[in-house]
Structure 1
Amino acid sequence: MTKYGLRARVFTLTLAPTLIIGLLLSAFFTMSRYRDLEHQLISTGASIIEPLAISTEYGMADQNREAVRRLISYAHRKHSQIIRSIAVFNTHNELFVTSNFHRNFEALMYPDDQPIPLLLETRLNKNSLILRAPILKEGQFSNPSFPGYQAQALGYIALELDLSALRLQQYQEVFTALMVLLLGLTLSSLFAYRLMKDVTRPISHMVSVVDRIRRGHLDVRIEGHLLGELDTLKNGINAMAISLSEYHIEMQQSIDQATSDLRETLEQLEIQNVELDIAKKRAQEAARVKSEFLANMSHELRTPLNGVIGFTRQMLKTRLSSSQQDYLQTIEKSANNLLTIINDILDFSKLEAGKLLLENIPFDFTDSLDEVMKLLAPSAHEKGLELTLKVDNRIPTGMIGDPLRIQQVLTNLIGNAVKFTERGNIDVSVELKTDRDESLELQFMVRDTGIGISERQQAQLFQAFSQADASISRRYGGTGLGLVITQKLVSQMGGEISLTSRLHQGSTFWFSLQLHKTDLPVSQPIHTHGLQNKKLLLIEPNMQAASVLQQRMIHAGLQVTYRSTLPEEAEKHDFTLLNLSPGEQPPLGELLDRVFKAEQLSDKVIVSLPTTELALSDRLLSAGVAACLPKPLGHRKLLETLSSEPEQLLEPEPLPEPRIAPAIQPLTVMAVDDNPANLKLISALLSERVETVITATGGRKAVEYAQQKQFDLIFMDIQMPEMDGVTACQAIHDTHLNHTTPVIAVTAHAMAGERERLIEAGMDDYLTKPIEEHILQQILAKWTDPNKSLSPAIALLPNATESQASESVAQQKAVSWDWDLALKQAAGKEDLAKDMLQMLLDFMPEVELLVNEALDGKTIDLWPPIHKLHGSCAYSGVPRLKSLCHTIETELKAGASTEDIEPELFELIDEMENVVKASKAYKN
């Protein structure tokens, strides 16, 4: 009723039955009459041909043509209105006589390969009906009832009837049926019109009156006398209008009363508003406290960060020595496990607290994007993914904005694409949307061919501490803050971010930014005059990567010829750019053969290798390759390589100058920390400055050492199991040998008032993590020789740098124990890798015992042993055990009970057994 009006429905329901029944009856009777006329014609033809067949028997038997002709000519004349031709054929299927000439006697004849049938046969053509009847010889002494009797055919007679009159009569019958049907429809239409006049018009009037009542005209009524139920409906509408009018009066009275009541409750509402305002201020204060807490560096985050930054600096001061390899292992462990989480949490806390400030500086736009691609290329290439960058040629080189935050947004989006993509491409593109004077609007797009995101999961994607699915968190890891930070950064830079995705078909994240152009020099210009109209042969198996490179080279002025594989023969080129796809690992001989063929086609061959295959560079350079570049190819690096001379490409980079080490002081120092990585770091830093360093793994052990030996200085961690740093400091000051020994607090708590609290509790000084080397040197100088000036070598110490490392292959595979990973973490030192593994195996029984006791219902604090096990796992090539420890430690810090994490604890026990079995299998 909502789509079609009452008038249309009445008209349709009235005519539809008449039309359907009329069509069915007309079709039925027309078809019946059609068939009856055909059967009538066949019967007429049979009544003509069968007597002729009998009467021509004697003429055929005597071969009397004249007698037969007279018979058939008489029959033809008698029925000339329907007969076209009559022909008689003998037993040899030859024409005997005919009533008139026929153009095609073959249409009347039986086929020569068939015998003459003994029964009447009919055949209906388009415009004629052909009947054939046999002429049978009925002998005087023949007995048809005798068994085996068979009449002899003397020939047959063929009769062709004209169907024109029949068709005309059939068409007349169809026309008559249609006329009857139209007459029925006309009568039904008249009745329908009358019905609509008597029903729909009054109803339309009622609708108009009801609409006026709805708009507030409660005094209108429906007048006049109507038929049947319509009159009842009219009375009901009028009664409804009267009731509404009465209700309106009552409602007005109620409103007046309610208004009076509301005025009386204003004081109560004001009191409630005050209470709500107080509650709002409390909520804002709670949010401020939370943001301030997150913005401050917590102990759990700064402690591992201490190892990351410290060992990075140690590596920068050495030249591939054994200690450098040892530090590299610790750097990789700390960076993989903590750096991404720390950066996410700190950025999120700053954004929540409104303390994140954006820069507005000139920068090279293309070089900035190339840095991001270079950083993320290893993790993409390890999975066999092709990484491409396409920048609109209309975008200028110099821009004004915050390059660090733009890189952070792109790093987050591309990193997610790499994480959730197993095969295919990750394509990054930047397009110019609008150009307004000095301002540009750019659109960044990151497309992948990964697992995709369902519509239900997309709604939760930009929420803090959440991911698309719980199983994703267990498989791929992450804090769930990346996209939230990305969204907030883009919003703070004046842009917007969104995505389009389909499950199992990949995702496309895009965001737009407003940046300003600048004419200031932001980088050295790229001179491409020597490349104009030079010919370059581009060999790239991946179509998308080839398209990006081809457009970039054409824009630089080169004439590019693209091939997916190296052609056998081609014209001479100035350059050949030979690209290998990630995941493609051709034998060295085959690769050298490709290089040899490329050298035949051009004067200068450049090979682009995935970052996982850069070890082939030396071998290819020795084979005559002009240069080996990592994928994806940076714009500046590629053009400079094409423009430079071969001898410039082969010139080795200068080695870094050795740094001046600080002087060793004749001191005995004790370092106390429960974290092995931090203890190892502070001991390494102190070993470069003092003669003797004693390490203690806890407060109780430090007190025992202090009772046995005198120290010049003690560096004490604060948060330790069994005995914390403050209690240990007080116990050490109570000993006879170290009553006056300075105790330096080393802590990750960097909140305001922490220094004063620790010094008041008995500490002599305060050192924050991560440890700054120049501050450590100042502490040593302050408490060993206050008048001694700082060594000039301190000024040469490297500044703090942040290291970012991608997840290892073993972590992606989530194996129990990977010797290659352990060896890599030990920088190729087998003895060190075995020692770290043995330390882990020795500690696991203690953890297993505590976990079993906790599962049995005993009250045990599992966080300290799990925290220590987590730190040990990062050194021994056990990614799955490390991931489990991280999950359990996180849940324990969040206040989870043993029952809440019971499945993870059972899984932890099983995984420790798997590690033991895997290590034993390797040793055997």
Structure 2
Amino acid sequence: MPRPCAEDWLEEQLAKIPDIAATLAVEQDADELMRKSVMLARERLGFARIGIWLLKEESRTAVGTFGVSGTGEVIDERELRFYDNSGYIRSMRSSWERSPHYYLDIANPLRSGELKVLGYGTRITVPLIHKGAILGFIAVDDLIKTDSVNRRSGTLLRQFALVVSNAYSTIVLEDEVRRSAEKAAESERIKSEFLGMMGHEVRTPLNAMMGYAQLLRMRERDAEVVEIANTIEECGAHMSGLIDSILEYSHLEAGNVERWYKPGDPIEVVESTVKGFELLYAGKGLGLEVAHEGDRLKVDFDAVSLRQVLSNLLQNALKYSERGGTRVKILSKDRAKGFVEYYIEVRDSGIGIASKHLAAIFEPFRQIGRSEDKKSGGVGMGLAIVKSLVKGMGGEIRCESVKGEGTTFSVVLSFRRVKSEEGNSGAVSNGAGLEARSPKRILIVEDNSMNLGVLNDLVECLGYANTDFAKDGIEARDMLRERPYDIVFMDVQMPRLDGLSLTRLIRDGGSCPINRTVPIVGVTAFTSEYDREECMMAGMNDYISKPVVLDSLRRAFDLV
């Protein structure tokens, strides 16, 4: 059979390159890519001896990957290095920079990866180039006789090197992106853990400080001392709010917030949230009203996020309004494909925002109105949190404002409509059967002695003296097995057995059957709406955030 002419041989070999490229393009590991490249070059292109090297240290060092031994076996050469002491790499680079971009070395020593001379013959090298940078080179020789090493092999090898370069660069880039993402995630985790720990550590002494300030205010008759206690309590409440804002924004930015989508009516959430602000607005002499247009439909939505969005907007309007009031308007419309769209507008008559500042109002730690209103306080996190929450629900928020006249925030959300049979699981509330109980016997579970003392004193101030104490979850579990209680105040974060785990054991009924339906109130320094939801999902009936205030404690006793 006659041998093909050089032109036919080259054309036939080049036709194999696209298929080789497709095979290498799916590889995701750099080492496996090099091994597979060597295999394909042998099997499909006929290069009996081939090696792929990467250049390091500004091309002064060549690092091995995979190659073919003098006996024709594919071998791992990743531990091999050779240095450009003799100028060999410089000679190749000089040749690569000239056309035809490959280096043909005839009748010279052919070496192994360890640079031992195995024989004499023809050696061809081509660079691995990506975006103008030389990453390494591919070398072939005819130590093992083959027709593929000839004066036209450079053109074929250049095309093959281009395929290997592109595949390798893609893997390296993806690996860099992955490592950057992992580094960013780890950095975010460390930051979140640090902020959470700091928030918890700050709230521990803050809880005692505010608790004793409340006790002092209630027990002291001297007006000056009462005023001092009030000031301590107000400053503590302000500090607590600042901590809440920073921690909440950190959780949202890190994407560590789970969405609690459940069937329900968003209009009810909006109306109840507005109702909760009525006394605050009235106390400042401001009006507050809510109006709804459209149908009331049950949808699958995140009530926690929606309530927090509206609360922050109402709090913002209250902060910057001295006259008039705020109007909340809701439009709901049934859309196609089973979705309901909600348009929520919060319009206030506050100080307004200059047009040049509107673009920055959703940035964290920005308070546009602060220079005009020194009394506003805060760290400028409220609207940043609102935007993150709205974005997390797949919605949009816009702001329009006129300086000196007021501001309007518009939120557009879309939720999937729930069929009539959905959401009716018939689940029994954790508080079932509580009406028959009476508040006589109380258990406080708290591992911090200072917080334990404060909570006990506050409970006594409300007239409840029959109180037991447990310093951790294991001790509390044993006490709950032996004696019935009318209400349990449960610290969430404790050694040995945390509050959430203990609550689940109690509700399960197997560990503490006599207290299976006892009202449990979570007491914790972790204060986001999602922390509260986690407590409720575990089986708690209510949730009190530290620092504990008497009003929240009174509401907790309403459970019994």
TM-score (norm 2): 0.45
Larger Rg: 1
TM-score (norm 1): 0.29
Q: Give the strand-richer structure, 1 or 2.
A: 2
Q: Give the helix-richer structure, 1 or 2.
A: 1
